[in-house]
Amino acid sequence: MGAHSFSGKVAIVGAFDTPVGTIVGKTPMELCVEAGLGALADAGLRAGQVDGLVTCNAMAQPLLYHAEAMAEYLQIFPRYCMAVGAGGGTTFSIIHHAASAIITGMADIVLVSMADSLRSGLSRDQALLVQSSTGHPEFEQPFGPTVPAYYALIARAHMAQYGTTAEQLAQVAVSGRAHAARNPAAQMRDPITVADVLASRMIADPLHLLDCSLVSDGGSAIVLTSAEVARDLAQPPVYLLGAGEGHRHEHISQAHSLTTSAAREAGERAYGMAGLGPQDMDFAQLYDCFTPTVLVELEDLGFCAKGEGGAFLESGATLPGGALPVNTHGGLLSHCHPGNPGSMFALTETVWQLRHAAGARQVRDASLALVHAQGGIMSSHTALILGREAG
């Protein structure tokens, strides 16, 4: 058991984000193609060289065979081709799988491209579907839980169990915005304070409007290949050193714990593959659809002890220049959140940080990072460890 490892054998060699925010006049497929071609150009590759293609479906333009549709659009003919669906966790679980596909020879050059237009592309019916697509249709949805409400249940449980405060939760949003302020691509860049978060409209107690992530249009893509192929391409490779997943439930009412998530085993598996630990990470990108997710993830991924996430946030550790900068692009709270593709932007940002090409927001001497995403309601978790060196 556990011998499976591609540590240092697979690398990200191209990365590209489309503009994000409100992007009028482009379909999700057009954004997906733009992102994919951008990532290939960044890598110095042509679309015809892609033999693995991975996408996710778009809520604003749902397709039965999304990845095949993109291949058709570009007239490329991959031998490994699929659209994946694990909510926000989609992005990183598929990186885990695509890396394995490269190691086993299923594909040599895999393009992962994802886009959606949740801000300007949804019809009224589609918007309602997005709102009600979470939750058990028979035993949860009739009570009228909104998406923020599910996460509020997690926040409230953490507050009751560990004394975490609304101010400490707000610090997640403040920190994300402080990073976004340094990122010209971010959707929301005006700095905010804890008082601003607490004064924003209550959505689902204890979560305020500014505890909730954005709704955006946008696309993002990366190119993945073997370390051998990576050596001859245009950009310095960013190596995949570890990957791990954890899956515990679909519905929050079935979670065995509200305050400890499967991010714990995802992290342990990723650290195990990389032979590294949380203390080795120079920065982290943690899934931040709502502020309490970051609180729980900081603990479960080992950056602080269980129950101490609030104090860790209050210390300023996650801010620019802090001991562990978190979400250096601004995250889903301040950079953008187009739905399932959301965590792609955390991945491209990590590539730029590890290339030392992140401009004004560069984390000094960054060489190792953990990126994490979750889908569902803290249901499905993947952690990846990336580095400048192969090991």
Partner 1 sequence: MSKILPRPTPLSQPYWDGCREGILRLQQCLDCTRCQFYPRAVCSHCHSARLEWRAACGRGVLASYTVVERGISAAYPAPYVVALIDLAEGPRMMSSVIGADPADLRVGAPVELGFAEWSDEIQMPVFHLIEDARGELS
Binding residues vs partner 1 (CB under 8 A): 131-132, 136-146, 148-149, 152-154, 156-157, 160-161, 201-207, 251-254, 258
- 28-43 helix and 66-74 helix, angle to the nearest 10 degrees: 60
**β partners of residue 202:** 208
Nearer to partner 1, 74 or 377 (CB): 377
**Minimal distance, residue 128 CB to partner 1, in Å:** 8
d(CA 217, CA 181): 19
**Minimal distance, residue 150 CB to partner 1, in Å:** 8
**Minimal distance, residue 62 CB to partner 1, in Å:** 22
Cβ atoms of 154 and 251 within 8 Å: the answer is no
DSSP-H helix ranges across the chain: 28-43, 66-74, 90-103, 124-132, 147-162, 166-180, 194-199, 227-230, 263-274, 291-300, 309-314, 331-334, 344-354
d(CA 179, CA 174): 9
The CA-atom distances, in angstroms, between 164 and each of 156, 289, 300 are 9, 19, 15
**β partners of residue 14:** 223
Nearer to partner 1, 128 or 357 (CB): 128
**β partners of residue 54:** 82, 112
Nearer to partner 1, 249 or 355 (CB): 249
Please give the single-letter amino acid code of residue 46: R
Number of Cβ atoms within 10 Å of the Cβ of 129: 13
Nearer to partner 1, 201 or 364 (CB): 201
Side-chain-side CA neighbours of 310 within 13 Å: the count stands at 16
d(CA 52, CA 230): 15
**Minimal distance, residue 305 CB to partner 1, in Å:** 21
What are the two backbone dihedrals, phi and then psi, of residue 124, each rounded to the nearest 5 degrees? -60, -40
Side-chain-side CA neighbours of 147 within 13 Å: the count stands at 23
Nearer to partner 1, 21 or 148 (CB): 148
Nearer to partner 1, 172 or 207 (CB): 207
Nearer to partner 1, 203 or 304 (CB): 203
Number of Cβ atoms within 10 Å of the Cβ of 166: 19
**Minimal distance, residue 153 CB to partner 1, in Å:** 4
**Minimal distance, residue 210 CB to partner 1, in Å:** 14
**Minimal distance, residue 221 CB to partner 1, in Å:** 34
Number of Cβ atoms within 10 Å of the Cβ of 54: 29
192 SS3 class: coil
**Minimal distance, residue 201 CB to partner 1, in Å:** 7
Q: Which two tokens stand for residue 115?
A: 């886009």
**Minimal distance, residue 60 CB to partner 1, in Å:** 20
Nearer to partner 1, 39 or 204 (CB): 204
**Minimal distance, residue 216 CB to partner 1, in Å:** 19
Nearer to partner 1, 152 or 227 (CB): 152
User: Which residues lie below 8 Å from residue 79, measured CB to CB, with a gap of 6+?
Assistant: 51, 52, 106, 107
Nearer to partner 1, 83 or 258 (CB): 258
